[in-house]
Amino acid sequence: MRAGCRAGEVLRSKCGVGLFVDERGYTSVAVATALLVSVALVFCVAAAQWTLSRSADVQSVADAGALAGSNAVAGFCTVAQVVDACVLSMGLAGMASMGAGLVLAAIPGAQEASGKAMDAGQQILDSRNSFARSSLEGLRVVEEALPGLVAMNSYRCVRANTQGSLDYAGIAVPFPVESQSDYSSLAQDVSGEELSDSAKDLQDATKEVEEAKRRADESRRRAWIADCVDEPRCMRSRAQDLAGLVGASNPMVESPELWTFGDAINRSRAYYARRLAQEVPEAQDIESVTDSLAREAFYEYALEEVQGAWYREDPDGAVDLYVPHLARNSNEMRETWLYTDARWPCTEEENGPTLHSSLLCPGACGPAIGSDCVAAVEAGSVLRCDECGMDVADLGAVASISTSASNGYEHYWQIVVEEAQTYERARNDQADAERRAKDVAEQGADAFDRALEQLRVPRPRICPPGAWGCVCVAKRAPGAAVPSELTDAFMQSTELPAGVAVSASALAPDSNANGGDVLSHLLDSLVGGSHGLVGSLMGGITGLWGRLLTSYGSAYENVGGMTDDFLGRLDGLFGSTLGSWLKRKVSGLMGALGLEPADTRMRKPVLVGTSDVLGKAGLEPEGKVRQLVQSLPVGGSPLQMARALGLWVWDQSIGKRVTLATLTIPGTSVQVPLTLDLSALAGDSQ
């Protein structure tokens, strides 16, 4: 046992282990050494971790730069979508207004409103054309500056990560580098000239309809008054007083719109039939008998005439009307069959054959020799009886007295006869004018369809620089020292080597954002402060434009419904059959417009693989990345970096604000300049 202890001591002495271990275990030196080694290892690991972390940070900086570059592209895409939305919605609003003008042109009495609607629509289209042309130039200017804006925005983002001795530099390159957009549809003007001409033709045709209808309505009203309204008397009241007609045989029609000439014809048939059946002499003297027989003959004649009357109205509005004129005096009696009808008895008297009203006449002393007509008296073939005096004057007196006096039935019948002739001409003129107006309306609908064809153009193809994505190259300059706190006590000071990273981003639809929200906010900003425009005009053209604008992307299938709602607010629309037809036609054409839908979803930058972006550009990813890395200088201004990568950088002479165009709010004279702050797209927060 003692020999073993000695051997251990000899070993510790020769190997130097005794400095760390003795018979009691680990010495203080061993513990101190272990602690020192542990601390040194901790600081070495911390320094390594700091180095690795800072070395990897360059990738995060490149990611941020790529996203910053795409942010500028996203801003431009939003602007381009807003411009397209304004152009298309203004075209639709202008066409809807002109369609309303066309519909109004078919409504009698609405010609003035039609002209105003057509003028408003043309003004909107003119504003649309001017806005589109100026926007086209503005978008091209901004697209030319966009590569530089991408570079500026990404450069500022990369530089913002510089802290202390960590110095970063880099820019993003947009792909495609040059614009692939197609805004040719914005250069195509939309004209309503042909539609305006059609509306004017329809206005003229409708005026003819309106004038003929006015004449027909006035004539019918005068005839209705003569038949139904006591001014001071009328056929209805005289038929009741003279013939005792009541009820269905002698109706009271409350308005001229419900009355027809057939009512007057039916009343007269009943009246003359009743008068003929009721006629008896007022006394037994020959004068009274003669008067009664003359009245009876007149009633028989009048009944036969009105029995042959008719009133027919064709489906197209034309009228076939015959209301007979009744003889009013002796001269007119000579034109009737009463003058030539051999209905009066004759006797052979001392002076020769004599015509009487009746064989009861005291002058009828000789034998009866048959019957003859009153025309024979004037011809001299028979003599006029001195007792009864029967001749054409007696027949004429019956009609003359009743026609000339305001209390005579025939007085009012004559008014109906005269108005019937005027009414028939006017209604037939109206029917002819309506046929012409329908033809013109159909031509106008065709012109409207051709005008709409101008809107059936492909939507602008928005593919600016950076639409496929942005590739950012970020470099960290060498010389960034590891913190002395981690190295001075245990190791020599060291520096990070130069670092480089490449990242790519592209635009993706933001499922949480609605493009309509942007357009709604645009509408609010445009009209919200324009002297109450929303409250006063949202029910009209401005309101229609607003709905079309905010539904730019998703609701164009409702264009017809929006137009129908707008047209449905036109006063008096449903009072015109042609206007209703044209309204349905215009709404149907708008609904069947078949516009190409627009994707108005907001875009947000997302990180993607560089091969995805470079592959769309038709480039070999590895070679292009190597070229970008080798071409990018470690330091320098964004202009120098961009030129090193072959990019054109935003020319400062453009200025920080560009007015794309001046927008005239449809339905108003308010003009709002649409100004784009290029400094914001370039990442300038000042």
Q: Is the pLDDT of residue 517 over 50?
A: yes
Q: How far apart are CA 224 and CA 220, in angstroms?
A: 6
Which one is predicted more confidently, 32 or 487? 32
Of the listed ranges 191-205, 529-543, 551-565, 571-585, the least confidently predicted one is: 529-543
Do 84 and 152 lie in one domain? The reply is: yes
pLDDT of residue 574: 47
Of the listed ranges 63-72, 263-272, 417-426, 535-544, the least confidently predicted one is: 535-544
pLDDT of residue 297: 96
Answer for the pair 171, 628: CB distance below 8 angstroms, yes or no. Answer: no
pLDDT in tens, 251-262: 999 999 999 999
User: Is the residue at 658 inside a domain?
Assistant: no
User: Is the residue at 655 inside a domain?
Assistant: no
Do 529 and 578 lie in one domain? The reply is: yes
Which residue among 398, 430, 462 closes a domain? Answer: 430
Segment 218-238 mean pLDDT: 96
- Total domain count, the chain: 2
User: Is the residue at 374 inside a domain?
Assistant: no
Q: How far apart are CA 155 and CA 473, in angstroms?
A: 10
Do 176 and 302 lie in one domain? The reply is: no
Do 84 and 233 lie in one domain? The reply is: no
User: Is the residue at 97 inside a domain?
Assistant: yes
Q: Where are the alpha helices (DSSP H) in 16-27?
A: none
Segment 282-294 mean pLDDT: 94
Instruction: Please provide the size of the chain in residues.
Output: 686
Q: Is the pLDDT of residue 648 over 80?
A: no
Q: Is the pLDDT of residue 620 over 70?
A: yes
Which residue among 361, 395, 430 closes a domain? Answer: 430
537 falls in which pLDDT band (50, 70, 90)? very low
Do 250 and 180 lie in one domain? The reply is: no
User: Is the residue at 16 inside a domain?
Assistant: no
**Structural domain of 62:** 47-191+454-633+664-681
User: Is the residue at 18 inside a domain?
Assistant: no
Q: Is the pLDDT of residue 605 over 80?
A: yes
Answer for the pair 589, 449: CB distance below 8 angstroms, yes or no. Answer: yes
Answer for the pair 89, 547: CB distance below 8 angstroms, yes or no. Answer: no
Which one is predicted more confidently, 163 or 430? 430
**What does DSSP say about strands 352-355 and 344-349: parallel, antiparallel, or unpaired?**
antiparallel
Which residue among 414, 430, 446 closes a domain? Answer: 430
User: Is the residue at 515 inside a domain?
Assistant: yes
Do 550 and 629 lie in one domain? The reply is: yes
User: Is the residue at 39 inside a domain?
Assistant: no
Do 479 and 622 lie in one domain? The reply is: yes
Q: Number of helices (H) and strands (E), helices first, in the chain?
A: 22, 16
pLDDT of residue 686: 47
Helix H, strand E, coil C: the string for 256-311 is CCCCCHHHHHHHHHHHHHHHHHHCCCCCCCHHHHHHHHHHHHHHHHHHHHHHCCEE
- What are the C-alpha distances in Å from 75 to residues 62, 63, 183, 639? 20, 19, 18, 22
State the chain's mean pLDDT as an integer. 81
Do 227 and 161 lie in one domain? The reply is: no
- Which two three-digit tokens encode residue 506? 């592209």
Q: Which residues pair with 346 in a beta bridge?
A: 355
Q: How far apart are the first and last CA of the chain?
A: 89
115 falls in which pLDDT band (50, 70, 90)? confident
Do 130 and 242 lie in one domain? The reply is: no
Do 466 and 426 lie in one domain? The reply is: no
* pLDDT > 70: percent of the chain: 76
pLDDT of residue 388: 95
538 falls in which pLDDT band (50, 70, 90)? very low
Do 494 and 389 lie in one domain? The reply is: no
Do 219 and 163 lie in one domain? The reply is: no
Across the beta sheet with 368-372, what order do the strands follow?
Answer: 368-372, 344-349, 352-355, 383-384
